[in-house]
């Protein structure tokens, strides 16, 4: 990989790491569909739904970062 094509703060990932990250991201998309469905099932409390979405996004992001191990903040 050319240096100018690297994402700043990230190391080069192995194929196993890339596969694991892609698995996490595909599961996140499934959860996103579930959360969208909650809106269609009725009138959920919007505040709690927003909190749930934020916390789920943070959880998936944290899982990805645990594999990618970025060097930056």
State pLDDT tens for residues 47-62: 999 999 999 999 999 9
Which tokens in the block code for residue 16? 């196993």
Looking up tokens 């943070």 gives 58
Where the chain has pLDDT below 70, the residues are 1-5
Supply the range of the domain harboring residue 58. Answer: 26-73
- Give the pLDDT confidence score for residue 43 in this predicted structure: 86
Any domain includes 60? yes
The number of distinct structural domains making up the chain is: 1
Residue 67 belongs to some domain of the structure:
yes
63 occurs within a structural domain? yes
Is residue 20, in this structure, part of any structural domain at all? no
Task: Provide the pLDDT for residue 1.
Answer: 47
Domain annotation covers residue 55: yes
Q: Which segments of the chain does DSSP mark as H helices, in order?
A: 15-41, 46-68
Q: Is residue 10 assigned to a domain?
A: no
CA-based nearest residue to 25, from 53, 63, 54, 72: 63
The pLDDT of residue 2:
52
| Structural domain contains residue 5 | no
Tokens of 30: 């499934």
Give the side-chain half-sphere CA count within 13 A for 52: 13
13 domain residue, yes or no? no
For residue 4, the model assigns a pLDDT of 56
């Amino acid at each position: 990989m050319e240096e100018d094509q690297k994402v700043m703060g990230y190391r080069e990932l192995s194929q196993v790491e890339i596969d694991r990250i892609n698995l996490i991201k595909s599961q996140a998309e499934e959860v996103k569909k579930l959360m969208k469905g909650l809106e269609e099932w009725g009138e959920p409390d919007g505040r709690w739904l927003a909190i749930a979405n934020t916390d789920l996004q943070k959880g998936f992001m944290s899982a990805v970062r645990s594999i990618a191990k970025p060097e930056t903040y």
